[in-house]
Amino acid sequence: MSEFIRVLIKHGDKDVEEEIAMPEGLTQAEQEKLFRKLVDDFNVEEVRRHKEYPNYPMDKKRTFIKILGPVGKYYCDFEKISVVSRTLAKGIADTMQCKRCGYKMQRYGLVTMEHRPCHPGTVCKTCNKEYKDLAKHQQTHKR
């Protein structure tokens, strides 16, 4: 499972705020170490691409400044619930479900799952839609 944190980075001569998903339960020092490595790896990859492909535009170096704090949003943490993949009109699909909120979706091929903000306790298991007042929806849905 992941949580969003806001970080401040220097991109060229500009300070830029970004949101990034981090694993839950990390201390701020661990988050900072992980994000510094992510930025360093990004810079190394940009240099490698530019050397390998001279026409590849060299992006400005990024530098970590500080963590601004949690955003308070969480991503859905999807797991495969279908036993076998199915062939649908759009292609081969697996049924995926969030471990926290129960939202279901189709994953086509081996593509990365969408980053969907997770809101536990708001998804109706019957119609697979999200409601601000799930209890009220469930009362009207039973009729």
Same domain for 54 and 87?
Answer: no
- 0.75 cut: is pTM over it? no
One domain for residues 61 and 36: yes
Residues 43 and 93 in one domain: no
Provide the domain limits for residue 19.
Answer: 2-74
What is the Cβ-side half-sphere exposure of residue 70, based on CA atoms within 13 angstroms?
Answer: 13
Higher pLDDT: 117 or 17? It is 17
- Residues 70, 6 share a domain: yes
What is the tens place of the pLDDT at every residue in 32-84?
Answer: 999 899 889 988 988 888 888 888 777 778 888 988 877 666 677 788 898 88
Residues 99 and 87 placed together within one structural domain of the fold: yes
Instruction: Identify the weakest region by mean pLDDT among 94-103, 110-119, 128-137.
Output: 110-119
Query: Which pLDDT value is given to residue 105?
Result: 87
Number of domains in the chain: 2
Asked if residue 70 and residue 8 are part of one domain, the reply reads: yes
| pLDDT at residue 112 is higher than 60 | no
88 and 37 within one domain: no
Residues 67 and 98 in one domain: no
Q: Phi then psi for 94, rounded to 5 degrees?
A: -115, 145
Whether residue 44 sits in one domain with residue 8: yes
Residue 109 has pLDDT above 60, yes or no: yes
**C-beta separation of 70 from 5 below 8 A:** yes
Is the same domain home to 106 and 126? yes
